[in-house]
Amino acid sequence: FMDAHPGEVDPVVEQVIRSGARFSAVDAYRALYRLQDLRHAVAPLWRDVDAVLVPTVGTTFTKAEVDADPVRRTLMLGRYTQSGNLLDLAGIALPLGTTPDGRPLGVTLLGPAGSDLTLAAIAARLLDEPAAPGPVVLDLLADAGLLPSTRQEAAA
């Protein structure tokens, strides 16, 4: 299609698709088998855990930064959530406002396939303060080093 219709596919999409030409069918099946092994390795986690909370994006970029290196920047934006797609996990993204310097802030809850209602219930609990992100979520992100602490130190 791309050869027959030059310029009709987004250049970044075309770059990603064409990069796959170096792989054989054998490579593709090996990757699929490896992915299945990883899915089986992760499956026992869900016996003890209802959800995993990850940043929706690990960082933010300006449009100019994305335009300068779109494939790499896009991969970096999905650092914490791409595994959810590959492992067939359910997910729900929660917008939590902005960081102190004005950048968007959000987290994603991941769970096993079919856990949509559980994730929605957890999300509702995390977002029980409609005007601002729940302090528990901000504290979790700060403890993980993903956001400056918002805790008020107790007066001595």
Q: What is the pLDDT of residues 84-109, one digit of tens each?
A: 999 999 999 998 888 777 878 889 99
What residues does 104 pair with on adjacent strands?
98
Give the mean pLDDT of 117-123: 90
Residues 57 and 124 in one domain: yes
**What does the pLDDT look like over 44-67, one tens digit per residue?**
999 999 999 998 888 888 889 888
Do 22 and 95 sit in the same domain of this protein?
Answer: no
Does 156 fall in a domain? no
Distances (CA, A) of 95 to 19, 65, 122, 131: 33, 23, 14, 11
Task: Give CA separation, 99 vs 117, 150, 155, in Å.
Answer: 28, 10, 25
Is 90 exceeded by the pLDDT of residue 155? no
d(CA 94, CA 103): 15
Residues 139 and 68 in one domain: yes
Report the alpha-carbon distance of residue 31 to residue 71 in Å, rounded. Answer: 20
* Structure tokens, 119: 């994730």
- pLDDT given at position 147: 59
Asked whether residue 78 falls in the same domain as residue 10, the answer is no
Q: Which among 102, 118, 124 is positioned nearest to 49, based on CA atoms?
A: 118
Total structural domains within the chain: 2
pLDDT band at 131 (very low <50, low <70, confident <90, very high): very low
- Tell me, yes or no, whether 83 and 146 share the same domain: yes
Please say if the pLDDT value at position 122 is more than 60. yes
17 and 57 share one domain: no
Q: Domain limits at 27?
A: 1-48
Token pair belonging to 135: 């302090």
Choosing from 16, 33, 48, the residue where a domain stops is: 48
16 part of a folded domain: yes
Q: Model-level pTM?
A: 0.70
Clarify whether residues 54 and 128 are in a common domain. yes
Average predicted confidence (pLDDT) for the chain:
83
Residues 111 and 126 in one domain: yes
Beta-bridge partner residues of 116: none
Q: In the chain, what percentage of residues exceed pLDDT 90? A: 38
